[in-house]
């Protein structure tokens, strides 16, 4: 499910950045100072449509390292994150009917949570283990590395309390960095043993928690919300990089397909440069046109009652026969067969595991 996204791509919801800013405000730091160098208006923090980049979120974290008075600010800020912070992604976590399924879902769809860390979950003997590592980047120095690990620890403790119950607590935490002068206070704040200088950063809890039954789980709701998360991942893919800019231009003119030369002109570059830069992103103009038409065809067939002729015209095909031929090439199915199966599956959902 991983989508390659540049650190300056403004593709992520503002919720993670806004939560960090709110936590700084509670620690006595002004919003103006919290957003120094982030290049976003304070008013935009309250607008759901606002999108930010990983670099903007990292800059806010760096401000927190510099300005926060609380030495455990990162962990305590992580505890401020809840399933409600994450929109559809969080609702899927809440509606899962099996905690092992929940862990797999969190890991598979982690990119929807503005990820500053790579995470991996495993179950071994009587332990559940989250392994956490900041995403490799030149801007992540030792203080930021420590901040991101402790922030993620807090987030996972909070999310698991939201779905497993407020009594959830990790058994112990492992971190790769050296211990501070006062390790006793670490244990008091984190509520468990913290081992320093370990090979990996790990949050370890009793696997017995995974055997419990989620109180708010609902199988049908979960399956529907997972579909929405799939759509969000698809949308993310459609808007990143130069390929995303090309898709956006093409999407606005699907009924009158644009040529490579016309798109290059819109992007203020030569055709040769556009072709070369798309090749560097492992794609081509022809592939993007075909991919976009396929995505839109699937969406129209699955989510609308448009006729085959109407879909054909909206996607710029000369006739319905050309569209049917292309759709069969993309999916190995006729359009009406695809629509019928999609609706049958929607009426009679079956349990699936997103692992």
Question: Rounded to 5 degrees, what are φ and ψ at 256?
Answer: -125, 90
Model confidence band, residue 18 (pLDDT cutoffs 50, 70, 90)? very high
Q: Is the pLDDT of residue 355 over 70?
A: no
Q: Which residue intervals of the chain bear CATH 3.90.1520?
A: 12-211
Cβ neighbours for 340, distance < 8 A, ≥ 6 positions apart: none
Of all residues in the chain, what percent carry a pLDDT higher than 90? 69
Q: Is the pLDDT of residue 2 over 60?
A: no
Q: For helices 87-95 and 99-108, what crossing angle results, to 10°?
A: 160
Residue 352: what pLDDT? 40
Of the given ranges (103-107, 225-229, 294-298), which has the lowest mean pLDDT? 294-298
Q: Is the pLDDT of residue 31 over 80?
A: yes
Q: Is the pLDDT of residue 239 over 80?
A: no
Model confidence band, residue 354 (pLDDT cutoffs 50, 70, 90)? very low
- Tell me the sheet residues that pair with 194: 173
Residue 148: what pLDDT? 97
Residue 69: what pLDDT? 94
Phi-psi region of 57 (alpha: psi -120 to 50; beta: other; left: phi over 0): alpha
Q: Which residue intervals of the chain bear CATH 1.10.10.60?
A: 240-347
Q: Is the pLDDT of residue 20 over 60?
A: yes
Q: Is the pLDDT of residue 231 over 80?
A: yes
Of the given ranges (17-26, 111-120, 124-133, 280-289), which has the lowest mean pLDDT? 280-289
Task: Report the alpha-carbon distance of residue 10 to residue 28 in Å, rounded.
Answer: 28
Residue 35, SS3 per DSSP: coil
Q: How long a stretch of residues is the chain?
A: 355
Q: What is the CATH topology of the domain spanning 12-211?
A: H-NOX domain (3.90.1520)
Model confidence band, residue 19 (pLDDT cutoffs 50, 70, 90)? very high
Q: Kindly state the average pLDDT of the residues 203-226.
A: 95
Q: Which of the pair, 108 or 256, is modelled with greater confidence?
A: 108
Q: Is the pLDDT of residue 6 over 80?
A: no
Neighbour tally for 185: CB within 10 Å? 12
Strands (E), the chain: 12-13, 51-52, 117-124, 127-134, 172-174, 193-195, 201-206
CA atoms within 13 A of residue 43's CA, in its CB half-sphere: 0
Summary mean pLDDT of the chain: 90
137-191: per-residue pLDDT in tens?
Answer: 777 899 999 999 999 999 999 999 999 999 999 999 999 999 887 777 889 999 9
Residue 237: what pLDDT? 74
Residue 174: what pLDDT? 97
Model confidence band, residue 347 (pLDDT cutoffs 50, 70, 90)? low
- Could you tell me whether strands 193-195 and 172-174 are parallel, antiparallel, or unpaired per DSSP bridges? parallel
Q: Which of the pair, 248 or 287, is modelled with greater confidence?
A: 287
Residue 348: what pLDDT? 59
Model confidence band, residue 350 (pLDDT cutoffs 50, 70, 90)? very low
Residue 349: what pLDDT? 46
35, 269 Cβ separation under 8 angstroms: no
40-72: per-residue pLDDT in tens?
Answer: 999 999 998 999 999 999 999 999 999 999 999
Residue 201: what pLDDT? 97
Compute the CA torsion angle 39, 43, 45, 50 (nearest 10 deg): -80
Of the given ranges (32-36, 51-55, 145-149, 291-295), which has the lowest mean pLDDT? 291-295
pTM, to two decimals:
0.75
CATH code: domain 240-347 is: 1.10.10.60
Of the given ranges (77-91, 145-159, 240-254), which has the lowest mean pLDDT? 240-254
Q: Which of the pair, 126 or 136, is modelled with greater confidence?
A: 126
Q: For helices 54-67 and 142-164, what crossing angle results, to 10°?
A: 100
Which is nearest to 238 in space by CA: 309, 308, 288? Answer: 288
């Amino acid at each position: 499910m991983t989508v390659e996204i540049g650190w300056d791509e403004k593709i992520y919801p503002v919720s993670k950045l806004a939560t960090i800013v709110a936590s700084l405000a509670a620690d006595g730091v002004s919003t103006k100072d919290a957003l120094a160098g982030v290049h976003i208006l304070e008013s935009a923090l309250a607008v759901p449509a606002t999108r930010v980049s990983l670099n903007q979120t990292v800059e806010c974290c760096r401000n927190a390292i510099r300005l926060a008075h609380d030495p455990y600010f990162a962990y305590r800020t992580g505890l401020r994150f809840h399933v409600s912070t994450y929109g559809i992604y969080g609702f899927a976590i809440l509606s899962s009917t099996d905690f092992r399924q929940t862990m797999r879902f969190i890991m598979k769809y982690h990119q929807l949570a503005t990820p500053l860390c790579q995470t991996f979950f495993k179950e071994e003997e009587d332990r559940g283990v989250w392994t956490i590592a900041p995403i490799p980047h030149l801007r992540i120095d030792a203080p930021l590395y420590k901040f991101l690990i402790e922030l993620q620890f807090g987030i996972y403790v909070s999310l698991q309390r939201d779905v497993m119950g407020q009594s959830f607590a990790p058994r112990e935490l492992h971190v790769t960095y050296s211990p501070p002068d006062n390790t006793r206070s670490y244990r008091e704040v984190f509520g468990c043993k913290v081992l320093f200088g370990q090979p990996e950063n790990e949050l370890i809890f009793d696997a017995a928690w995974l055997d419990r039954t989620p109180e708010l789980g609902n199988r049908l709701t979960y399956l529907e919300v997972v579909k929405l998360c799939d759509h969000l991942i698809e949308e993310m893919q459609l808007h990143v990089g130069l390929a995303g800019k090309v898709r956006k231009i093409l999407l606005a003119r699907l009924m009158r397909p644009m040529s490579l030369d016309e798109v290059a002109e819109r992007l203020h570059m030569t055709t040769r440069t556009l072709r070369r830069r798309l090749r560097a992103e492992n794609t081509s103009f022809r592939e993007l046109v075909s991919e976009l038409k396929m995505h839109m065809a699937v969406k129209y067939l699955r989510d609308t009652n448009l006729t085959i002729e109407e879909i054909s015209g909206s996607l710029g095909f000369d006739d319905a026969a050309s569209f049917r031929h292309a759709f069969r090439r993309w999916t190995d199915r006729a359009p009406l067969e695809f629509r019928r199966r999609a609706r049958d599956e929607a009426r009679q959902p079956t349990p699936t595991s997103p692992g």
